[in-house]
Amino acid sequence: MFKKLAIVFVSVFCVLLAVPTMSPKLAPYFPSWIKPVPLGLDLKGGAQLLLEVDTTTMFQEKTQQLYEETRSALIDRDKGVIRFSNLRNHDGVVSLVVRDENQVSDAKGRLKAAFGNTVDISSDGKTIELSYSDKQKEEMVQDALARSIEIVRRRIDALGTKEPSIQSQGGKYILVQLPGVDNPEHIKELIGQTAKMSFHLVNENVSPEQMASGRAPNGTEFMPYIDSPSQMVPVYSRVEVSGESLKDSQAEFDQNNMPVVSTVFDASGARRFAKLTTEHVNERFAIVLDGKVLSAPVIREPIPGGRGQISGGFTLQGAKDLAVLLRSGALPAPLQVIEERTVGAGLGADTIEQGKLGSIAGVLFIFIFLLFVYRAFGVIASIALMVNLGMIVGLTALFGATLTLPGIAGIVLTLGMAVDANILPFERIRDEIRAGVPSLRAVDLGFNRSIKTVMDGNLTTLICALILFQFGAGPIRGFAVTLSIGIVTTLFTCISLSRVMVDWYMNGKNKKIGYVKQ
């Protein structure tokens, strides 16, 4: 008896999970963790963006980084300076000429120790060339793609966009689907920014003539203000503190009630920031974001503790956007929007209504067939089918899966298989009764002997669904999710729930079963 009550309890619980989806007006009466099934882009409408990871720019930046690190490795005063010349960065290759031929092997050894197997190092006489290996480049692309997806997800989530779908596609592309978003321009602008922040000292020794000529001294770059591109700031190329050390950022108001962005550095970043502000009091430092100067304030006093503020005449929305960008981290490579689509909510609404009409019509015809052929057992099969549908929707909502058109196709396919799984025991019961077995015993034999067939058919389909989920993408995975959930609920309702209802109907007696001619 306990087993039967447990089966009924599980069935009722899962059906209740589907109520907020089936009847949104009742959703406020349910706990907050029971939510309606979120609808996908094809049902709810919204925006779709296809982004490309700019690997060309990424490799250029990586090679420039290799250039800087090569110089640092060879002029390490603790290990001894190796004299070299003609250090160049061209076409993804860093090359240099060691002045003393006797130091070539030492230079190669030091570079090998610095870069390991990530860089191919070759030499021809006193000339040494360094370049990233093909394997390392492939790993860079995959790492950039994975990090970009995570950063894009954090930026979109911080904006409160509901149920975004973000996934890789084709090796270096990211597909972003934003259900319910009518105007993707703001989001497109936000996720497209690289958001690489760094702190640099300002070179106050640059003359107005040099500024006017546009020729920056060695180790200095001219960078424009973000809100005044015509005004340039002479900034030392050396990064004093990197934005990678940033732990948190929030939009706040300063003492003058102006929007600012407060920053908090991690332990190492806090030490470097404290050292910078201690050693350069009364000097200016520039806060640079993606090659543009946000502000260049004067350091009035040391700033220990790793906390600071970025001001720059922000609007409140601008401060919030910058805080989101800094908090989510810098993109490892620029993202280019190569395709944009907008799906109207009306199209999705029409699809839902047509789907409802088709589902209702299909279910009604199935019920009529079951009632006509199997009489009382047809009523039981119909109840089991409705419970199965409710359990699919309820568990989909519980797992937070997004419902799309392919997902609806998976539900429809599951219900068709469920009808077959329901009537197999009934046909088996009919065979047993025709063989002269009493009806109560025939019910036991019918369910027990049909279980293997039902299990085999559904488990093989479940294996296919899991393979589709593992190796598929987008709509295919949506189809696989609802199909997998549906197979599990079908096995539960057909093997367990139907048996319980048949047992209660028989009530331990050899009743005449109407659909069997005895």
The reply to whether 200 and 74 lie within a common domain is no
Assess if residue 369 is contained within a domain: yes
How many other CB atoms are there within 10 angstroms of residue 425's CB atom? 26
What helix, strand, coil percent values describe the chain, rounded to 5? 55, 20, 25
Out of 137, 154, 187, a domain closes at: 137
The reply to whether 353 and 496 lie within a common domain is yes
Which residues touch 85 (CB under 8 Å, ≥6 apart)? 96, 97, 99
Assess if residue 185 is contained within a domain: no
Assess if residue 382 is contained within a domain: yes
Sign of the torsion angle spanned by Cα atoms 319, 324, 327, 332: negative
3-class SS of residue 357: helix
Structure tokens at 286: 């520039």
Structure tokens at 484: 């997998």
The reply to whether 310 and 353 lie within a common domain is no
Q: What value, to the nearest 5°, has the Cα angle with vertex 135 and ends 131 and 138?
A: 100
Residue 373 has a pLDDT of 86
The reply to whether 294 and 355 lie within a common domain is no
Q: pLDDT digits over 61-111, tens only?
A: 888 888 888 888 888 767 778 888 888 888 889 998 998 888 888 888 888
Assess if residue 268 is contained within a domain: yes
The reply to whether 306 and 359 lie within a common domain is no
Task: Name the helix (H) or strand (E) containing 373.
Answer: helix 345-398
Residue 503 has a pLDDT of 87
The reply to whether 262 and 380 lie within a common domain is no
Residue 494 Rama label (left phi>0; alpha psi -120 to 50; beta): alpha
Residue 492 has a pLDDT of 93
Residue 276 has a pLDDT of 85
Assess if residue 184 is contained within a domain: no
Out of 94, 115, 137, a domain closes at: 137
Q: Are 311 and 254 in contact (CB under 8 A)?
A: yes
CATH number for the domain harbouring residue 26? 1.20.1640.10
The reply to whether 357 and 499 lie within a common domain is yes
Q: Mean pLDDT for each consecutive 10-residue tract of the chain (518 residues)?
A: 86 91 85 83 79 87 84 78 87 88 86 84 89 86 84 76 75 82 74 77 88 85 86 88 78 82 81 86 86 83 78 76 72 83 66 74 85 88 92 89 83 86 87 87 89 88 89 78 92 90 85 70
Residue 201 Rama label (left phi>0; alpha psi -120 to 50; beta): beta
CATH number for the domain harbouring residue 84? 3.30.1360.40
The reply to whether 496 and 367 lie within a common domain is yes
Assess if residue 415 is contained within a domain: yes
Structure tokens at 233: 């700031």
Domain count within the chain: 3
The reply to whether 13 and 75 lie within a common domain is no
The reply to whether 364 and 424 lie within a common domain is yes
Out of 137, 162, 181, a domain closes at: 137
The reply to whether 228 and 124 lie within a common domain is no
DSSP one-letter string for 259-309? EEEEEEE-HHHHHHHHHHHHHTTT-BEEEEETTEEEE--B--S--GGGEEE
Assess if residue 283 is contained within a domain: yes
Residue 201 has a pLDDT of 92
Assess if residue 57 is contained within a domain: no
Query: What domain range includes position 87?
Result: 65-137
CATH number for the domain harbouring residue 266? 3.30.1360.200
Q: What value, to the nearest 5°, has the Cα angle with vertex 242 and ends 236 and 244?
A: 160
The reply to whether 353 and 474 lie within a common domain is yes
CA atoms within 13 A on the CB side of 8: 8
pTM (predicted TM-score) = 0.59
